[in-house]
Amino acid sequence: MNIELLGWILIWTAVTLLGTALAGLYRAVAILSKEILPDAGTVGPREGTLVPPVGGIPWGTRALLLMVDRSCITCGDILNALSDGRLVSNVGNTHVLYRDAPGHTKVDSRIRVLDQQNPLFDDLEVTVTPMAIRLSSDNRVVDAMPVGSVDALEQFLRRTKEEGSTI
């Protein structure tokens, strides 16, 4: 056996072992990421999720929940648009829920504002704000979507009207 053939055999053996090790490492990372973040694509409640009762909100009617955070600049823009009447929907049965203390004071008087709602944020798996959640009359989530701009909320509300729902 010549030295060149032995070199090629050793190189291909090393490449095969490295490929196997890399495949094993990839598999381990995939398993760990599923354990740490079971459903990384979910940022809010799934359709049909039952929303637990929250003091101050009359249940049994359709509603729009806006989940906001006081440190969120976009949340303030959306609340301004709701208060100024710039959105396609009337505010109807709309509730603004803050994770902790409210940070935006100028809100339309028809909009109910609740603070210290961190447990509800956790129950509904709301990880990003602002989040719009449309509820049915039996307190189940009909639709939920992160609304990162006034335009996104307007599209969410327009889609609600196109489906024939009222909030």
pLDDT at position 127: 84
The one-letter code for the residue type at 62 is R
d(CA 36, CA 109): 42
Q: Are 65 and 95 spatial neighbours (Cβ–Cβ below 8 Å)?
A: yes
Structure tokens at 124: 């509904």
pLDDT at position 7: 92
pLDDT at position 102: 72
Q: What's the whole-model pTM score?
A: 0.68
Per-residue pLDDT in tens (0 to 9) along the chain, 167 residues: 799 999 999 999 999 999 999 999 999 888 887 777 655 556 788 888 888 877 777 777 788 888 888 888 888 888 888 777 666 555 567 888 888 877 666 666 677 888 888 888 888 888 888 899 988 888 888 889 888 888 888 888 887 666 655 55
pLDDT at position 8: 94
Q: In 37-149, where does DSSP find H-type helix?
A: 73-84, 118-123
- Cα 128 to Cα 14, 64, 66, 70, 91, distances in angstroms: 46, 17, 11, 12, 22
Write out pLDDT tens, residues 84-128.
Answer: 766 655 556 788 888 887 766 666 667 788 888 888 888 888 888
d(CA 63, CA 67): 13
- In this structure, how many other beta carbons lie within 10 angstroms of the beta carbon of residue 57? 18
Q: Are 92 and 167 spatial neighbours (Cβ–Cβ below 8 Å)?
A: yes
